[in-house]
Copies of this chain bind each other. A is one copy, B any other.
Amino acid sequence: METGAKPVRESVEFARIVAFTDGVFAIAITLLVLSLDVPSNLSGSALHDFLLDEWPQLFAYFLSFAVIGRFWIGHHRFFSRVDSFDRRLLVLNLTYLSLVVLIPFPTELLGEYGGSSDAVALYALVVGTAAVLAWVMLRYALRRGHARPQAQAVAGLVLGGPLIPALVFYASIPVAFASPLLAQLMWIALIVDVFRRG
């Protein structure tokens, strides 16, 4: 691909890639609320019971809000170091987004069937794979020189960034089949740590 085909930082094309990506993140994170269904025609006491039983759904909602929010912060930080784009990076970005956009589906499963090993394992698989794709995209951008020189200096540090979440989520898959609760505690520990360290 010729150089002229690389949208550089200042161009409208670069801005469109950023805007599209941010739009997808914003929509995916907002669609999470649709996993909270409201049943019709409940009596007063049935409504009361429904709301008391809604905690697993609310937990899944806030968990995925934190997960997608953290992916967005990571992507935001990654893009702030990117200076140019080629076709393959665009395709990698779309592939990564296809996993992020999928998150509301295992979220709804998790809210409905949080005690199920299958639901917990699927959630871990989707989020872990999204983290792996973030890492692949980051590596590609650094290798092909799409990232800024000063960013190259911290490459070693940054490179490992999405790898730890990927490993934790993947490691939680076999754990989920022994104890779904323990797998979810692993995620919470990871997320608290990630947000605390920035």
Residues of A within 8 A of B (CB): 1, 7, 9, 11-13, 16-20, 22-36, 38, 40, 42, 44, 47-48, 51, 61-62, 65-66, 69, 72-73, 76, 79-80, 87, 90-91, 94, 97-98, 101-102, 104-105, 108-109, 112-113, 116, 118-119, 122, 195, 198
Docked CA distance A78–B98 (Å): 23
| A48 near B13: Cβ-Cβ < 8 Å | no
| B20 near A25: Cβ-Cβ < 8 Å | yes
* Given A38-B105, A69-B94, A116-B44; A28-B30 close (CB under 8 Å): yes
19 further A-B contacts with Cβ under 8 Å, apart from A12-B18, A16-B79, A44-B118, are A1-B198, A11-B80, A12-B80, A16-B18, A24-B30, A26-B27, A27-B31, A28-B30, A28-B33, A31-B31, A31-B33, A33-B101, A36-B102, A38-B112, A47-B113, A61-B102, A65-B94, A65-B98, A66-B98
Docked CA distance A24–B7 (Å): 22
| A90 near B62: Cβ-Cβ < 8 Å | no
List B contacts of A119 (CB < 8 A): 47
Nearest chain B CB to A132 CB, angstrom units = 16
Which of the residues B11, B16, B48, B102 comes within 8 Å of A118, measured between beta carbons? B48
Docked CA distance A24–B16 (Å): 13
Which of the residues B1, B66, B94, B122 comes within 8 Å of A51, measured between beta carbons? B122
